[in-house]
Structure 1
Amino acid sequence: MGDATPSEETELGAACCQLFECSMRNEAKRLRTFRQWLGTSPVSARDLVKAGFFFVGPRDQVQCFCCGGVLMDWRPGDCPIVEHLKFFPSCRFICGEDVGNQEMLPLQEIFDTVDGQFLSLLQGIGSEETALPNEPEHPEMLTEEVRLSTFRNWPQYTDIHPEQLARAGFFYSGQGDVVRCFYCGGGVRSWSFGDDPWREHAKWYPGCDFLLLSKGREFVSSVQESFSSTLLSPFGGFLFSFFGKDESRMSTEEQLRRLQEEKMCKVCMDRDVSVVFVPCGHLVACGECALNLRLCPICRAVIRGSVKTFMS
């Protein structure tokens, strides 16, 4: 796609100024406002985004980026586009005018335009395997180049190179040594000498589709076998197998660090884990963060319920 001419840029700028919320003309950005959207809602966040809405709250209140119209109290059978046209028939976006809406690329197209290793992988596997279920959590961080640019203030005390982290899908959060995956949104911190970003990615977030397509299921499975994390046992109790065969030779200090990581919420990277997700059984989030999750950060399974836990 070529550059816009001066006249086209002027027209686009004028149209943008007439929008209620110009910053929300990007569908991916609107989608990110729905992180607290209830999975039990009768209307999907994606359908609302396509209809021009972004989430404002409270409850299920949404607003159009173009006309500013607000809708709420969604019911089973409601169609966001139809409801938008019904209550705000003069909205230029819903009437089909070009107001500068920026659509999200289909996942296949997204992955064909990013990292080289992704493209070669996609060319070698069938379409059924590439039917990924979710959009990236941070679509603005799709390319390795953009992710690498976030590491300008990466702390000097860590031995992990930004190039390694960016290649493994991570971008810098700007806090301490916390990095997050652009696709699954998973965070990792407390990096030590010798840590491999790909292995840490596979250890904590084995269900990440970017990871699986980049490294393969065999790699992820081997990492999971080496590093056991806190799991819900089939008998209703908890299995705390913190140190695998590769960790038995670690120093006491390193073992303590690993233990603290196991207990840490994988979302806020601050509070201790305290909620088990149902039905997958993963114990990876604190009570506050669990309220805002629709998918398990580990396996990406839909969360149907949760159980509060207490560690003695």
Structure 2
Amino acid sequence: MAIKHPEYTARSARLGSYQTFPRHMKQHPADMTDAGFYYAGFGDCCRCFHCGIGLRNWDPEDNPWIEHARWSAECPYILKMKGQAFIDLVQEAARAAEMADNDGDNEADNESASTQSKSAVNEKSGANNSEPNSTAGNSSYEIENNVAKASEAEISKGTPEEGGSSAGNTIEAKPIKAPLRTAAAQSLIHDEHIKPKFVTAAIDELVKTEGWGAFSLENIRKYLKSQEDSRKSATSASNADPSMLKQENKELKDLTICKICLDEKVSIVFLPCGHLVSCPQCAPALTKCPICRKGIKGTVRTNLVEKNTLKANTLDKNNPKTNTKKT
């Protein structure tokens, strides 16, 4: 398939098209760009630079990768970036959601309902999408839930060997290339407002302990809870252990000592690097910063305010008697 919009092949070109993208949209321009979409310039319509598929009427919970694979399963870009296994999983999840939604309806109703799902436009039909009045069972949220339940680890599971039973014949789950972009991780970050660094640490510990086959939303939550308990325990131990407090005080004190003579307090900032490592006595003898080895083009004198001095000055200001001259 030839690239429909080669002018947006570069990621920077696609990202630059989102300058007028509606600010209320939950989809981040960087995520849309990574999924191959550029902003079409009206409404919330975005198009894939490669296959030309256009999507609009985005729901807050829509995942750009999942929507791309759902509506344009033959796009070479999505195939290259996510693999056929991911596309198959999304398609299967979409079919499962549609079947659950239409369960109990007759065949005509099934056909009608399937044509009223989330709007997608191809290159021929332009932007005349149907309105996003799809029923809840066939919603993108339902499909993403199905994908999250199966997880990308399920994608990599093998099928039973021909003629063999299903038990013990599956291939070990393969690593997920971008675990932080999975539906499970995105749910924790956006819906539960957990910092990405904590989610990443929990995923790393989960994979190290149980492997990629155990990758799921509930297991990530379990390790997040475990890490939070560990941090609380470490904080409590630090506050209760005098030796740790002494060590912290020593480290803080070392930061204020001249790194040359190890005696006087630091008060000279080297320019342009900005390192504060020398006292006034040692600074004139240096031509290069001892930390970064950059040439010293200038210096600035600083004064570190000690706690006792600051407290004394505050007391003097609050006490009028100390500021009155005796006559």
Whether TM-score is above 0.5 comes out as: no
TM-score, normalised by the number of residues in structure 2: 0.33
TM-score, normalised by the number of residues in structure 1: 0.35
Query: Which structure has the bigger radius of gyration?
Result: 2
Q: Which of the pair has the greater relative contact order for Cα pairs under 8 Å at 6+ separation?
A: 1
Higher fraction of helix: 2
